[in-house]
A = this chain, B = another copy of it.
Amino acid sequence: MSDANLRDDVRATDVAAVRDLVAATGFFNDEEIAIAAELVQERLDRGEASGYEFLFAERDGRLVGYSCYGRIPCSSVSWDLYWIAVHPDLQGSGFGKRLLADTEDRVRAAGGLAVYAETSGRAQYRSTRGFYLRSGYAEGAVFADFYAPGDAKYVFVKRLDR
């Protein structure tokens, strides 16, 4: 991404930066925001053993997007996209799609054959579902009433070319 600096090392300041970014998107509730920040802390505490990899995108020293991903425990080839978030100022600019493509490149380089991403079936997440479909993901499964009654979980999957 020519218009943002990417880095994959995790710093102590990223815990708060991720919390602020995820909150700023308006897409996530308090529990989800706390979990996003916790995963950064777990990476800091446990290193690679945490299973969480990060890709941070910064502009002028400010975090404007990030992804959190990792090999799924007990799978040798499937990776999970745990989080991807882009600051509202940059949404709709193709920035998220490039961040996702960069993440997939790293999964592929690590030997991954597929990326899984989950999101909600609620109307609020229609743009998120469209984002995955436009990025080459297929709808792998829908679990009704998963998050709450009336709130399904959609599982998207992308097979990576070798």
Contacts and interface: CB of A to CB of B under 8 A. Distances in A.
Nearest to A120: B74
Contacts of A73: 31, 35
Interface residues of A, number: 25
A117 B140 CA distance: 17
Interface in A138-157: 140-141, 143, 145-149, 153, 155, 157
Contact of A146 (B32, B75, B147, B148): B75
Given A140-B141, A141-B141, A141-B143, A77 B148 contact: yes
- In the complex, the count of this chain's copies comes to 2
Contacts of A78: 143, 145-147
A43 to B, nearest CB: 16
A79 to B, nearest CB: 11
Interface string A64-84: 000000001111111000000
Contacts of A17: none
Interface in A9-51: 29, 31-32, 35
Contact of A140 (B35, B143, B148, B157): B143
